[in-house]
Each structure stands twice: as structure tokens, then as C-alpha cells.
Amino acid sequence: MLQSDEWHLIEIHGPAEMEPDRPIGYGAFGVVWSVTDPRDGRKVALKKMPNVFQNLVSCKRVFRELRMLCFFKHDNVLSALDILQPPQIDCFEEIYVITELMQSDLHKVIVSPQPLTTDHIKVFLYQILRGLKYLHSAGILHRDIKPGNLLVNSNCLLKICDFGLARVEEPDPSRHMTQEVVTQYYRAPEVLMGCQHYTSSIDVWSVGCIFAELLGRRILFQAQSPIQQLDLITDLLGTPPLSAMASACEGARAHILRGPHKPPSLSVLYMLSDGATHEAVHLLCRMLVFDPAKRISGSDALSHPYLDEGRLRYHTCMCKCCYSVPSGRVYTRDFEPPADRPFSHNYEQSMHSVWQGKELIHRFITEHQQGKRVPLCINPQSAAFKTFIR
């Protein structure tokens, strides 16, 4: 796990100033540094969102991510603790968001030499699906679920992060959605085949790939190109029926049909590791279904018996929703709560120009800070400031 360094606080007058210390991650649209909140000495993460106002698409994307981070209220989903005080609107070019500081991510854990027991895998997978159920219940598709976007602490607490590619699920199947989503190794077959409309099932496919990676300590479908990625998937699952390719583009469908017929070879999943038990492989096969309409949902996956021990371990000693009393443990009524309301993106319809976007974002941050603690700003005299702002 990553070790936190010691920071030195500075004297403050007016808005509290934070000093960037070191980079800890790079997301799809921003860089993350570790810092200390000078108001209470708490170590937190500071995400810089640069180039916000390059064009209208960028404005909408950043505002969407910012609103999501402020909307989230779930232990397995990273949320905004605070937003740094913006300058006057004429000088407003970047956004700085404070989140909880996590020690590592699942990619680093998987490639490390440290042992991963079946208990580890179950409690990690349980938390991923628990957070995913929350997102999907709010109508949000993450669209970039991968080990590097799953933050973890030394106590195995996990949080889904990086919502730079996230969007609200599109209920109208006639509305086209971008295909430039999901890191290739974790990309669902419908996206690889050029499907113009997809659902939350693309996130479930990604989780299935991660589940296999946790079991085998290696990437399940590691290809050099999208076409090769599709070939590796059909090598495992077999040639899909025409009904499973109904929404695919003609070129992708032709590529599958002109190749030799492949039988499924799912039995090779038992060779991932000793942890690939019948229950584990059964759940994995429910996630890695070629046809998205037949793929298990994140919510239903949580009911699979493979996760019973992960649920018990999480709610016995890790969660914040249950608590201990002298007579024993008091458990919450709902172990996997959904969002209390859908995430609204109606504001995007009123954003018609970059300047209008800048005004909306500036107003949102200002209103978000009302009634909060002493506002925060970056200390420009910090030794790491020049590196951070690049």
C-alpha cells in the first residue's frame, strides 16, 4: 500500500491555504495530489480539473462530474468533501475538488506480490457491486470501471472513483451514445461491436473482467486492438447467436460470422486459481454473458451466494451503516441501499455556450460553499505549486 508522508501546515489568514505535496494518480480528465487540509490537519486528496472551458463539450463533462461528486452519498463511491474557492469569474479556468485520501488502488494490489485470499476477493467484489448498485439506481453509468478506478485502503475499504466518462443512462434506445468509453481490456462486447445504444450492463461486464483478474492475478482479455479483444472474448464464450448481435454494426457482425464457429470454453475459468470454485465461476459466467440483455445486473449479482461471506465480513467490521453495542452487533435494515433519488442532468439543456457554462459552474461552486467551513484555496508559494499547476 502507498505510505503517506508528513506535511507541514502553514499559517493562514482569511481563506485557508493548502500546499500540494505529491501526485498520487492521473484520471481520465485530471490529476490527483495528496494534501493536508489546514483547517483540521486531515490528509485528503485534491483533484485538479484543468482545461475546463476549452469548449462546450468539456464544460458539460466537467460540470456533470462535479455535480456527481457532490451528489454521491455512499461508502463505496468517492464523493466531494469540499471544492476550493474559485477566483473571480474572469480568472476562472480550473476546478479543484477535495475528496477522501485513499492509500492505493486495486490495480496496484493485483500486480503486487502481496497475497490475495478468497476473503479479500469476496469483500472487494462485494463492495464494487454495492457501489455499482448505488450508481445504477441513480441512473448513472460509470463507463470506465477498471482496477485503477477502484481505490482501496489497508483495511480493504473500497471506493469507486473517476467519473470523467460517467453519464446518465439514456432511456431512449434510438438516441446514439459515444463508443469512446471503457478501457479496452474491460470493454463489453456490445461496445466493441459498435452498438449505438447501451445500458448499465456494460459496467457489469467490466466488473466480471475485474473479478477474473482478482482470481488469476492477470488481465483476462489482454488484446492489442478492439478486434483482437473481440476475438479473445469469443474464444472464451464461443460464437454468439445472431440475436446477441442484433445491435452490432455490420462490419463487426460480419467479422464474427466469417470466422470459424467457436464452442464455449468456460471450463478454463476454473484454471484461474484455486479460488475459482464452482460458486465463483458460476457468478463470473453470469457477468460475462455476450448478450447484454441476458447479463446479470449488479443488483442481482449481489444476491449470489458467492458474496454471502463478503457481505458478512463487510458489515461485521468495515461498514459505517452498522455498529456494535455491548450486547452485540446492530445491523442496518438495508445492506445495499439504492440512491434516494435519480441524478438529474436537466441543467445541461440550459448550457448553450462556454461562457454560460463558466457562469453556471462558478455559481454552483459558490452556492455549494455557502454555510460551510472556512473556504480553501491553493497556496501559490508552496514548493510543489509550479509542478501541480502544469
- At residue 204, does pLDDT exceed 50? yes
Which region among 34-38, 93-97, 167-171, 330-334 has the lowest average model confidence (pLDDT)?
Answer: 34-38
Closest C-alpha among 331, 330, 333, 287 to residue 307? 287
pLDDT of residue 368: 84
pLDDT of residue 369: 77
**DSSP 3-state of 341:** coil
Catalytic site residue from 21, 144, 162, 203: 144
- At residue 17, does pLDDT exceed 70? no
- pLDDT band (50, 70, 90) for residue 219: very high
144 labelled catalytic: yes
Which region among 38-47, 217-226, 299-308 has the lowest average model confidence (pLDDT)?
Answer: 38-47
- Average pLDDT on 185-212 reads 94
Is-above-0.85 flag for pTM?
Answer: yes
pLDDT of residue 246: 83
- At residue 154, does pLDDT exceed 80? yes
- At residue 11, does pLDDT exceed 60? no
- At residue 311, does pLDDT exceed 60? yes
pLDDT of residue 375: 72
pLDDT of residue 25: 60
Sequence-separated (6 or more) residues with CB below 8 Å from residue 249: 193, 194, 195
Percentage of the chain lying above the pLDDT 90 cut: 60
pLDDT of residue 56: 92
Please state, in angstroms and rounded to a whole number, the distance separating the CA atoms of residues 189 and 199.
Answer: 12
Closest C-alpha among 81, 58, 85 to residue 70? 81
Contact between 30 and 47 (Cβ < 8 Å): yes
Q: What angle do CA 373, 377, 379 make, to 5 degrees?
A: 135
- At residue 295, does pLDDT exceed 50? yes
- Average pLDDT on 356-369 reads 89
Contact between 247 and 190 (Cβ < 8 Å): yes
- Average pLDDT on 200-223 reads 97
Instruction: Record the cell numbers describing residue 188, joined without a space.
Output: 463489453
- Average pLDDT on 279-298 reads 97
Please state, in angstroms and rounded to a whole number, the distance separating the CA atoms of residues 74 and 78.
Answer: 8
Helix ranges (H only) for 24-80 are 56-71
- At residue 218, does pLDDT exceed 80? yes
Please state, in angstroms and rounded to a whole number, the distance separating the CA atoms of residues 112 and 217.
Answer: 9
Question: What domains are defined for the chain?
Answer: 16-101+348-389 (3.30.200.20), 104-330 (1.10.510.10)
pLDDT of residue 222: 95
Instruction: Give me the phi and psi of 302, to 5 degrees please.
Output: -65, -20
Identity of the highest mean pLDDT range in 129-138, 165-174, 345-354, 363-372: 129-138
Distance linking the first and last C-alpha atoms of the chain: 27
Q: Distance of CA 287 to CAs 138, 182, 210, 237, Å?
A: 21, 16, 11, 12
Between residues 384 and 34, the one the model is more confident about: 34
- At residue 68, does pLDDT exceed 90? yes
pLDDT of residue 28: 52
Which residues sit in the known binding site for ATP?
47
- Quick: pLDDT tens for 235-278: 999 999 988 888 888 888 888 989 899 999 999 999 999 999 99
- pLDDT band (50, 70, 90) for residue 21: low
- pLDDT band (50, 70, 90) for residue 26: low
Between residues 344 and 278, the one the model is more confident about: 278
- Quick: pLDDT tens for 111-149: 999 999 999 999 999 999 999 999 999 999 999 999 999
Identity of the highest mean pLDDT range in 275-289, 324-338, 370-384: 275-289
- pLDDT band (50, 70, 90) for residue 5: very low
Between residues 170 and 375, the one the model is more confident about: 170
* Mean pLDDT (the chain, rounded): 87
Task: Give the neighbor-by-neighbor strand order of the sheet with 22-27.
Answer: 22-27, 30-37, 42-49, 95-100, 80-83
Element (H, E) at 120: helix 118-137
- pLDDT band (50, 70, 90) for residue 51: confident
